[in-house]
Structure 1
Amino acid sequence: MTDQVTQLKALKGILIDATAEPIMLSYPFLSSITGNFSREIGRGGFGIVYQGDLGTRKVAVKKLSIIPERFSDTLFVEEIKCLIKAKHNNVVRFLGYCADTQGELILFNGMHVLSELPQRLLCFEYVPNGNLGKYLEDKSHKDEWKIRHQMIRGICHGLNCLHEQRITHLDLKPENILLDACMEPKIADFGISRCFDEGISRVYTKILRGTMGYIAPETIKNGEITFKSDIYGLGIIIIKLLTMGNYSDFESWHTSLDMDHPQVRSWAEIAQTCVHTAQHKRPTICKIMQKMNEIDSM
């Protein structure tokens, strides 16, 4: 699909049809809709995100950083596999991808040579209200319990979808939770995610990836990765939403909460079990969903 008009029409069609599958997009097309990658809206350890303009609609285009020691096409394919499987209102919607190679004239040993540069890009729905990290930095939100409760529920729903599809996210943190126009959370950034085959629930890695403070203790200690790895990160996010990040001692964070509020008290108890250093004492997301239904009935 090389014609840019055809690609534009196809991408608009995907945005209208929630059941449509992601498509392959060309580098020139993505460059065109982002103003030659001039409208930056975010960046992280794996690339820069740009706003794409489709006329009446917007998209987000993530241009991945091709750093040999940190990137491989195997990781790129793994991320796409996870994104295609992860379809839920609380997971950012994946629209398309690009795997082009562009020729570029560069100066090498005093001579101009033509170098072929791989370009790897991902296209997503545009989520307008930034990320949860920025929300938590704004202390004026501290009294919005209904909104924060909605966020906790949404993140749990999104993670439940991932685990049902046998996907471990492995980098759950506020910066990877996007907020839509209704402040509904959407889990994003699957750069280090893993898809577990049926019957496999535990793997080991020699390369520690993720964000310190959200990585499970067993992953740091011996590279062990399970679905409980995500539960640890979820617990930290719940704690931050309960306290709006206002705690200095990880052991006594719950002392600042209104424990007379039944929902707050229940989520605090869940969060404490989620961040247990012993992974077998952490609940599954299925168990958390059961507890959440009980909390909703309060």
Structure 2
Amino acid sequence: MPVCVPVFMTGFRMFSLSEMKAATNNFSEHNLIGRGGSATVYKGVISDVLVAIKRFCAARHLRRDVDHYVNVFALLGQHQNIVCFLGYCQETTYEKMLYKGRYVEAEITSMIVVEEYTPNGNLSDIIEGQCPQMDWSIIFQIIQGMAQGIAHLHWKNIIHMDLKPENILFDSNMNPKICDFEMCKIFDQEVTQEVTEELAGTLGYMAPEYIAQGVISAKNDVYSFGLLVLSTIRGMSRSGLLQHSIEWAWEVREAQSLKDLFDSASCGESQLQEVERRIHIGLLCTQDNPRERPTMPDVLRMLNSEERPAAPTPPSFIKR
């Protein structure tokens, strides 16, 4: 069984529901940051500090889900590329609700986590071209930071399982922060993979072996990371927007047309070489066969080395 740290031993602050309501002006729409299938996120203020307050949908999440979330952060500790976890709220209240023409007392359990507030949006804004063109040094910093954060997860035997642009947030310095750990898996030290019949995550960023056979391993995250890298660079080029990121990257690689995609004023020869290296790494990470993908420590070594990585194998859907 995975290591489990009892919630009361984590040292994280447990907030009351009244504190959460006060911080968000009673969860007002004015404080709303975003809404997903599993939770609604609000901007809040606690002790004069801006925070992000994630309120889970009670109908879809049980108490153990927040326990799992807290346990993950207890194992992770703090890391510069993982969103900082500040505390949580688990509180059951009883409210009168109208049911079949009469009022009945209903039990409502609030499940909330409190995290650092990240003011600069997420990676989707860059990929979709919704923010001003960025300097390549910032893009390289983002790719490096994502790799460092995922490598830390894997070092702690945690697999994220839902790495996608919306789950890469940016702090005030555009430092990337991985968030949303509801779907992550915690493995025992000696376990490297497992198989499930219930898929969860975001289809466009799932590894092929997970979709086809339900295989879960660290290589799932490696595949997602590769897609994030390729999608980010494609977004910077403002080209191939109707193509799959892997297909776009292979076309660019084989046509050797990288120089034509970027303004020479903003992307010199040395930067083009760095872009090419990251496309190469992204293609290695998205190999069909998980055994042919690097580990995240391998990725970090490739990012920080001038040696040319091994040649990737074209995916099955690329016609040659």
The question of a shared fold, defined as TM-score above 0.5 by the shorter chain, is answered with: yes
What is the correspondence of 1:96-107 to structure 2 with a 5 Å cutoff? 96-107=87-98
Q: Which residue pairs with 1:288 in the alignment?
A: 299
* Matching residue of 2:14: 24
Q: Whole-Å Cα distance in 2 between the matches of residues 240 and 252 of structure 1? A: 9
| Higher mean C-alpha deviation, range 128-137 or range 72-81 | 72-81
1:107 and 1:84 map into 2 onto residues whose CA distance is 40
Q: Whole-Å Cα distance in 2 between the matches of residues 189 and 161 of structure 1?
A: 15
Q: In structure 1, what residue type is equivalent to 2:35?
A: R
Inter-CA distance 76–161: structure 2 relative to 1 (3 Å threshold) = same
CA distance in 1 between partners of 2:179 and 2:217 (Å):
19
Residue 58 (structure 2) pairs with residue 66 (structure 1): yes
Supply the distance in 1 between the matched residues of 2:84 and 2:204 (Cα, whole angstroms). 27
- TM-score norm. by structure 1 comes to 0.87
Does the 8 A contact of 1:105 with 1:115 survive in 2? Answer: yes
What is the letter of the counterpart of residue 31 of structure 1? K
One-letter code of the match for 1:251? E
Match of 2:170 among 159, 162, 179: 179
How much has 1:67 moved relative to structure 2? 2.6
Unaligned runs of 5+ in 1: 1-19
Between the aligned partners of 1:49 and 1:85, the Cα distance in structure 2 is 23
| Among candidates 222, 225, 233, match of residue 234 of structure 1 | 225
> Is residue 103–residue 114 contact of structure 1 (8 Å, CA) maintained in 2?
yes
1:79 aligned residue (69, 77, 83): 69
Using the TM superposition, give the Cα deviation of residue 78 of structure 1 relative to its aligned residue in structure 2, in angstroms.
1.9
Alignment-mate amino acid for residue 154 of structure 1: G
Which of 17, 36, 49 is the aligned partner of 1:44? 36
Q: Which runs of 5+ in 2 are unaligned?
A: 1-9, 261-268, 308-320
Alpha carbon RMSD of aligned pairs, Å? 2.0
Q: CA–CA distance in 1 between the matches of 2:283 and 2:132?
A: 23
* Partner residue, 2:105: 114
TM-score for both structures, normalised by structure 2: 0.81
Give the equivalent residue in structure 1 for 2:281.
Answer: 270
Query: Aligned-pair distance for 1:29?
Result: 0.7
1:53 CA drift (Å): 1.1
User: What per-residue deviation string (whole Å, max 9, x for no partner) do you get for residues 2-25 of structure 1?
Assistant: xxxxxxxxxxxxxxxxxx942111
